Structure 1
Amino acid sequence: MTGIDWEEPFCGEGNNCFRIGTDGEGNAYIAVAGQEDRYLTDSREALRALIQDIKAGKADHLL
């Protein structure tokens, strides 16, 4: 597997910190900061769609 290039952690309220990463094969990763060995992965397009939906408020009912 190709190495994952992790971005700096994104921390919301209450110190919920996440990291987003990508690899050279077009995959995207998201993990809790400090637990990068336990990540979710999908295509970059799928991660982009997830982030756009969250920004649009489509996941507010989960909060």
Structure 2
Amino acid sequence: MSDITWEAPFCQDGSNCFRIGTDADGNAYIAVAGQEDRYLTDSREALQALIAEIKAGKADHLL
């Protein structure tokens, strides 16, 4: 496994923080901040698509 470069945590209202990371092999990672050893991974393209759908409001029903 390659080293993961994590972005700064993103927090909604000071809680529910998560982090996005990438590696040199083109993989993307998402984890709860502080639990980066327990992540989900997929391609960068899949993560970009997920973020675009969330920004478009297609996940609002889950909140």
- The TM-score bracket by the shorter chain reads over 0.9
Q: Which runs of 5+ in 1 are unaligned?
A: none
Alignment match, 2:36: 36
More strand by share: 2
Q: 1:9 Cα deviation (Å)?
A: 0.2
Alignment match, 1:51: 51
Query: Once superposed, which parts of structure 1, at least 4 consecutive aligned residues long, lie more than 3 Å away?
Result: none
Alignment match, 1:15: 15
Report the TM-score when normalising by structure 2: 0.97
How many pairs does the alignment contain? 63
Q: CA RMSD in A?
A: 0.7
Q: 1:14 Cα deviation (Å)?
A: 5.0
Identity fraction in percent: 81
Q: 1:13 Cα deviation (Å)?
A: 2.2
Report the TM-score when normalising by structure 1: 0.97
Distance 1:52 1:4 in 2: 22
